[in-house]
Structure 1
Amino acid sequence: MSGLREQQKEMRRQAISRAAVDLFKQQGFQATTIEQIAKVAGVSPPTVFKYFGSKQEIILEMLKEADLRAIFDTREHLSRFSDPVDALCHMEELLVGYALEVLPAPLWRELLPVVLSGGDSGLPEAYRELNAGLLTEITDVLRDMQEAGRLRADLDVELAAFLLNDYSHLQLLRLTSADEPDLQAHSRQVRLTTRLIFEGMRAFTGATSEKT
């Protein structure tokens, strides 16, 4: 019986999440209320609050699951990349791909300016906490690559993770500026910038220059 109850709870949680995202798509995040979400999900408002503390929490939980999926899948395939840039571009592709799976471009277009500049929707502080967790995960991936000898031993992996994550937010903002995001153009730009970050702008001299 307990297994059936847990299954029913999970189905109800998913129904609430789907109802919320459908409403967010139709009328925007700010205009959607818990009462509306409850009506579409076929439950009462207190039931929604039983599963989620707020509509912001619905968004954040979905994003957290998407981020964890991306990091898990990155680690699963990390060893097959000999070039660190390939590995990092693959990670960014997964993060963006899963993010767009859970929230469509128009919704990101509404939320990202609030996230990046602050606001009164309740998202900024909660999102910063979520992003801090993702930043830790990215740092750990970089550290694993560093320990495997794929990155410089003296690389500040925390700073590198911060730069990559910060840049990713700006690129996501650009990507979602269109209703139909151009993922190929986005991937090309990310690869060029990521390679620049990791190869640097220092001029090589002597024998090293001849090799490049």
Structure 2
Amino acid sequence: MGRETGLRELKKARTKTAIQRHALRLFREQGFHATTVEQIAAAAEVAPSTVFRYFESKEDLAVLADYLSMRPRFTEVFTGQPAELNPVQALRRTMRTVFAEMEPEERAARYERDLLWLVVPELWGANLGTLTGARRLLNELVAQRVGRGPDDAAVRALTDALVGVTLGVLMDCARTPGADPAAAVDAALAQIETGLPF
């Protein structure tokens, strides 16, 4: 019974991911407003009622907090980094580890997710809460690593610098076909780690 329940939940998770993946592709190709739930359902090879079983509205398809989320694995890997690493070093190692663990298809889908919400206005608006949550999580992890509170001015400044640099790199990657977002973010974080050369 437990195995059947597990398989059923896995199938449901895959269906939900497939629906959202097709929705994002159509949002990119046609625009958010021009895309209908019927088109998304047809692309995902499910009935429109199945789409609404997983997402209450088309707007909910634009919220990416749970779509290909790295949060649990990111948290686990970051907190497991050696204590002697500073927060930037720990973040770089974490990002390299998490992306290296992904299959190429999963990594490509994650890249698309991370870049698409920066160029489709409706996705940007729908995911400001996701960005705020990621910032809060990173702030808590950095605070824990350096033994200070999350409201410490230095912790907040470093967190916001890391978030800002990452967003800037992803915005550039969104306009650069064939870019490798993970490598680009790592290179930018290396600049922070070693200090600015001026």
Whether TM exceeds 0.5 here: the answer is: yes
Aligned mate of 2:117, from 111, 116, 119:
111
> Identity of aligned pairs, percent?
24
Q: CA deviation at 1:143?
A: 0.8
Aligned mate of 1:33, from 9, 32, 36:
36
Most deviating of 11-20 and 37-46:
11-20
Matches within 5 A, 1:172-183: 172-182=170-180
Unaligned runs of 5+ in 2: none
Q: CA deviation at 1:178?
A: 1.9
Matched, 1:195 2:198: no
Q: Distance in 2 between matches of 1:178 and 1:164?
A: 21
Q: Supply the RMSD in Å over aligned alpha carbons.
A: 3.6
Q: Distance in 2 between matches of 1:101 and 1:174?
A: 17
Matched, 1:15 2:18: yes
Task: Determine the structure 2 residue equivalent to 1:138.
Answer: 138
Which residue type is aligned with residue 165 of structure 2? Y
Aligned residues: 185
Task: Determine the structure 2 residue equivalent to 1:207.
Answer: none
Kindly indicate whether the alpha-carbon contact (under 8 Å) linking 2:16 and 2:54 is maintained by their aligned counterparts in 1.
yes
Task: Determine the structure 2 residue equivalent to 1:6.
Answer: 9
Q: CA deviation at 1:35?
A: 1.3
Which residue type is aligned with residue 187 of structure 1? D
Unaligned runs of 5+ in 1: 202-212
Q: Distance in 2 between matches of 1:8 and 1:96?
A: 24
Matched, 1:57 2:60: yes
Normalising by structure 1, we get a TM-score of 0.66
Normalising by structure 2, we get a TM-score of 0.70
Residues 32-69 of structure 1: CA deviation (Å, up to 9, x unaligned): 33211101222222321220234553451445613443
Q: Distance in 1 between matches of 2:78 and 2:68?
A: 15
Matches within 5 A, 1:132-171: 132-147=132-147, 156-171=154-169
SS of the residue 1:138 aligns to: helix
Q: CA deviation at 1:81?
A: 5.3
Matched, 1:66 2:70: yes
Which residue type is aligned with residue 194 of structure 2? R
Residues 6-30 of structure 1: CA deviation (Å, up to 9, x unaligned): 34433432332343345456x2553
Q: Distance in 1 between matches of 2:119 and 2:20?
A: 22
Aligned mate of 2:46, from 43, 63, 84:
43
Which residue type is aligned with residue 140 of structure 2? D
